[in-house]
Amino acid sequence: MKTNRSGLELIKRFEGLRLTAYLCPADVWTIGYGHTSAAGAPPVVKGMKITAQEASDILARDLAKYEAAVAKALTRTPNENQFSAMVSLCYNIGAGAFVGSSVAKRFNAGNEQGAADAFRLWNKAGGKVLPGLIRRREDERTLFLTPVVSQPKPVEPVPVPPAPTPPPAPETPPAVTQPPATAAPDFAKWVIGAAAALIAALAAWMMKG
């Protein structure tokens, strides 16, 4: 699991970005986003200077170590806000202190509200209560208690089946051409006339004979 955006912004906001080494309230040489020699390379010494990009790269490497430390200390699976809040705490107090903290112990015991309240115990540096640590612990506690809202899955449109292909229209038989209305009477007249001529010819033949 990785520190989410809310956790990363919280860490950057409270650590601040310093490109020249300085002594933190606990008298430890610090640079970038709260990087100290205890977190690993590079070692921080007086007069050291880095760029903003180097500070981001160092923070990414440091977070990976503290994320692994938190994951190893937990026996229950946190949500991303709980995990990120605990990484911020671990980054600030150190991996050893986090493992033995009431935050980790109460969370592992299933007492999440008690774990959230235990963030407030870590408000001192050099034996003094610091307003900055009080604010940081409250923001970490708030993040720890913030429910993770899952994004609803987009509703996939129901596929619409294609409209059935209409059956082909029946073919229209060719129109029958009707003979002119005068065709039948003219033919009858022709037959009658031919018959009359034949009868007349036959009668003339018989008269000759």
Cβ pair 42, 58 in contact under 8 A: yes
Render 173-194 in DSSP notation, one character per residue. PPPPPPPPTTHHHHHHHHHHHH
Question: Which of the residues 15, 54, 112, 171 is marked catalytic?
Answer: 15
| Residue type (1 letter), 101 | S
Cβ pair 74, 39 in contact under 8 A: no
Q: Residue 20 CA to chain centroid, in angstroms?
A: 39
80 part of the active site: no
* Residue 83 phi, psi dihedral angles, 5° rounding: -60, -45
Residues that are catalytic:
15
